[in-house]
A and B are shown apart, each in its own frame.
Chain A
Amino acid sequence: DTGVSQNPRHKITKRGQNVTFRCDPISEHNRLYWYRQTLGQGPEFLTYFQNEAQLEKSRLLSDRFSAERPKGSFSTLEIQRTEQGDSAMYLCASSLSGWRGKLRVDTQYFGPGTRLTVL
């Protein structure tokens, strides 16, 4: 399978613990995005990488959250001192930024997500 993969698929942790999620994008994609989806809502943008550079962060991303993409391939999202409000599905997406004729091509392909439950 050459799609976006995320690990783990499920994570249950106690409040105050640190957790780390991993995302492996489609191999030739240069852009990688993290989103968060809470129950009954659509996903919300968290942060974005172009290659290894983190170019934008949402105000939703508090200082307890940190994301890296050290070699421009896989990415990790770490949450320190988890709170119950962090319980959500964390989604990763990747895209290939470029142009096809006059049309900009930047379709994002999503992984299956990591469901975090903070007790």
Chain B
Amino acid sequence: AQSVTQLDSHVSVSEGTPVLLRCNYSSSYSPSLFWYVQHPNKGLQLLLKYTSAATLVKGINGFEAEFKKSETSFHLTKPSAHMSDAAEYFCVSLKNTGTASKLTFGTGTRLQVTL
């Protein structure tokens, strides 16, 4: 089975400081991994995706994530938080069965950005 574990349900940072949202995956093979962001009353937006082409993945809005096989991690980072980054973030794995591509979501990390 392939799943993801988000280690923090809530993270609070000050504006201008770095962001680290942690995600570990469990899989018997190299997975496809994503980070999605969900702002209140808005749909899920894809931040970035890892599909084994490069271990450091750059996404939108200054976010990036590094796939570390030795640590089975796919943590999301941003050098400097902005107030508009406050949202719910989901680490997601993709299971391709040949006929379907089911996303399995983590439980989410709520990012709070304070002044």
Contact = CB atoms under 8 A, between A and B. Distances in A.
Are A and B physically bound partners? yes
A68 B44 CA distance: 23
Contacts, number: 65
Contacts of B101: 31, 48, 95, 97, 106, 108
A4 B43 contact: yes
Nearest to A53: B99
Interface of B: 32, 34, 36, 41-46, 49, 51-53, 90, 92, 94, 96-97, 99-108
B43 A111 contact: yes
Contacts of A56: 97, 99-100, 102
Is chain B's binding surface mostly helix, strand, loop or mixed?
A: strand
A42 B102 contact: no
Interface of A: 3-4, 31, 33, 35, 40-45, 48, 50, 55-56, 91, 93, 95, 97, 103-104, 106-113
B105 A42 contact: yes
B55 to A, nearest CB: 15
A112 B38 CA distance: 10
Given A31-B101, A56-B100, A56-B102, A43 B94 contact: no
11 contacts: A42-B90, A43-B103, A43-B105, A50-B100, A93-B44, A97-B101, A107-B46, A108-B101, A109-B46, A110-B43, A110-B45
